[in-house]
Chains A and B, each alone.
Chain A
Amino acid sequence: MLGRVDYLVWSAGFLLEIYVLVCSVSRRDFVRYLSLNAYMGSAALVALGEYFTIQHYGFQSMNYRYYYYYSESLLTILLFWVIIQLYQQVFAEMEASRYIRQAAALLLAATGCFSYLVIHANKDHLTSRFVVELGQNLYFVGVLLTYLLWGAILKLRETRTRLIQLVLALGVYFSATAGTYALRNLFPGLQPSLLKWVPPLVGVWLPLAWAYTFTKVAEDARLMPARLMVKAR
């Protein structure tokens, strides 16, 4: 059974996703950040679908469980498209778009195969275990890709504040979710009490951070990325 807090978090996430879309359209940034907007739109639709699945089948039903994990995996793959577009923006002057697309597609296929092989060894409960394992691996690949992108931003001295904030917000999202999935695999007992709160809250973080960036940071704003690094003193 879902409580008030669950519905509050769900509504906040949904409204923020719509806000990012509206903000992007009104500022004529929709095409420039097409993948990001496609992700926000899909996430809002998935959230609506979640609501109707819970109303029809209940929160504890297998239908909801499958809907949640498979839509989550599809949304993660959409997020990979966002990363690819951010890579293309960072490497725009080097004309490396084709190579970036090929490398990302290869990595995605390799992740799917790896997850399948890991689960193939444990054939019992194949479907439900597969989605958790796939989720963990997909998010972790997201962490690696975002970290590499962050490294490229630092190396190439990319100064566009908006791009930097979009990448960092994505990094926070991927790393928090991958860590939560991994903790869930390590300590399944933590799921009902503690870990179940992390994905919804992190799910609000991404549209919140992106909404902030689109609202507050001008497209031409600049900053020195080296100043953002954590250095030992």
Chain B
Amino acid sequence: MIAALICVISLAAFLQFFVSYCRSILASSRKFELSDRVREVTGIADHDVAADDFNRLLQLVRLCPERGDDRSELRAVGTYYNLLAVVNRVSRPMVPALASWTDQERQSCSYFAAVALDRRISYSRDLFTQQISDRL
């Protein structure tokens, strides 16, 4: 009886801690306003970043030179996104409220990837400018 109680409470606490932890990583991107250039490149100029944009944005991120400081974050967020995608698929027919919550979370993940892309593009431009000035 005690073990069953501990199991249920621990599982509930685990979910809450885990989701809050992932959100604390995503929170760093919320303050960042996407540049017009990234909106144009990604085709999200006139609407918000969609939940399903994550993989497309990640592919674009991989095309840019690495900054070296965002790889682990992208991997962690990618894991969270994939987990949410599974929950979304399973819960859509049975618990629509949960599916809509996972959509919101996935949207935050996509926004995080868009911010990473924005930073990498700025980094590439800086690198390019530096190379040009070195040649001169």
Contacts and interface: CB of A to CB of B under 8 A. Distances in A.
A223 B27 contact: yes
B17 interface: yes
Most buried by A among B4, B11, B14: B14
A155 to B, nearest CB: 15
A208 to B, nearest CB: 9
Interface in A158-190: 161, 164-165, 168-169, 171-172, 174-176, 178-179, 181-183, 185-186
A168 B76 CA distance: 15
Interface stretch (A65-73, A100-108, A224-232): A224-232
Given A227-B23, A227-B27, A171 B6 contact: no
Nearest to A178: B10
Contacts of B76: 212
B14 A172 contact: yes
Contacts of A212: 72, 76
Contacts of A216: 69, 72-73
A139 B30 CA distance: 34
B40 to A, nearest CB: 29
Interface in B12-67: 13-21, 23-24, 27-28, 30
Interface residues of B, number: 30
A228 B27 contact: yes
A224 B27 CA distance: 9
Contacts of A178: 6, 10
A150 interface: yes
B17 A179 contact: no
B9 interface: yes
A137 B3 CA distance: 9
A192 B100 CA distance: 37
Interface string A46-82: 0000000000000000000000000000000000000
A232 B17 contact: no
Nearest to A164: B24
B4 A182 contact: yes
Nearest to B20: A228
A214 interface: no
Interface of A: 118, 136, 139-140, 143, 146-147, 150, 161, 164-165, 168-169, 171-172, 174-176, 178-179, 181-183, 185-186, 209, 212, 216, 221, 223-224, 227-230, 232-233
Interface of B: 2-4, 6-7, 9-11, 13-21, 23-24, 27-28, 30, 69, 72-73, 76, 97, 100-101, 104
22 contacts: A136-B3, A139-B10, A140-B10, A143-B9, A143-B10, A146-B13, A164-B24, A172-B14, A176-B14, A179-B7, A179-B10, A181-B6, A185-B3, A209-B21, A216-B73, A221-B28, A228-B24, A228-B27, A230-B19, A232-B97, A233-B97, A233-B100
